[in-house]
Structure 1
Amino acid sequence: MFVMIADIKLKEGAEEDFKKWFSESNQVLSKFPGFKSRKLLKAVDGSYRIVVEHESKDTFVKMHNSPEHEKLHPQGHSFMSEPPQRKTYDVAAE
């Protein structure tokens, strides 16, 4: 399994609109082959993290390079105060 984790910072007052956009965008992205899950996490300190799980790096890249993602990506970034900080991982053990 392939995992992408992104730490994000939302603009002041954008939380509810971002959560709505996130849920709506999940309806589109979850239809891609290899998609496992996509979650928005909120820490006790108020920071946010997005976790995306895909069957493989290849299926993630295909989704990420799709016209659907290209349309959704700028919308999501419009709620953020700075670009997300991303890291990608291969699951080493379960």
Structure 2
Amino acid sequence: MFVAIVDIVLKDEKKDEFKTWITESNKTLSKFNGFVSRRLLEAQDGTNRIMVEFNDMESFKKMHSSPEHGKFAGEIGQFMAQPPQRNFFQVVAE
């Protein structure tokens, strides 16, 4: 399993709109081979992360180079107070 954890800082006035955007854009992402899930997480201190899971890195890379992802990349900036910080992981034990 391949996991991307993305630390994000949302504009306060865009938080609710971003939740809707995540839910709607997940409908498109779910059609990609290897897609498992994408979730918006909120910590007790109010910080946010996005967790994206794919079966493998190759499936993630194919999605990441798609026109659909390009569209999402163009839209996501309107919600962000700072650029997202991405970290990538491979599940090594369960």
Give me the TM-score of the superposition, normalised by structure 1: 0.97
- Quote the residue 2:55 is aligned against: 55
Q: What's the C-alpha RMSD, in Å, of the aligned pairs?
A: 0.7
- Quote the residue 2:71 is aligned against: 71
- Quote the residue 1:10 is aligned against: 10
Question: How far apart are the structure 2 equivalents of 1:11 and 1:66?
Answer: 27
- Quote the residue 2:86 is aligned against: 86
Determine what percentage of the aligned residue pairs are the same residue.
52
Q: What is the Cα deviation at residue 12 of structure 1?
A: 2.1
Q: What is the Cα deviation at residue 76 of structure 1?
A: 1.4
Letter of the aligned partner of 1:23 in structure 2? T
Question: How far apart are the structure 1 equivalents of 2:75 and 2:90?
Answer: 28
Question: How far apart are the structure 2 equivalents of 1:49 and 1:86?
Answer: 10
* Structure 1: stretches of 5+ with no match in the other structure: none
Q: What is the Cα deviation at residue 78 of structure 1?
A: 1.3
Q: What is the Cα deviation at residue 74 of structure 1?
A: 1.8
1:43 aligns with 2:43: yes
* Structure 2: stretches of 5+ with no match in the other structure: none
Question: How far apart are the structure 2 equivalents of 1:65 and 1:82?
Answer: 23
Letter of the aligned partner of 2:13 in structure 1? G
Question: How far apart are the structure 1 equivalents of 2:91 and 2:72?
Answer: 26
Higher helix proportion, which one? 2
CA contact (8 A) 1:2 1:54 kept: yes
Question: How far apart are the structure 2 equivalents of 1:12 and 1:55?
Answer: 33
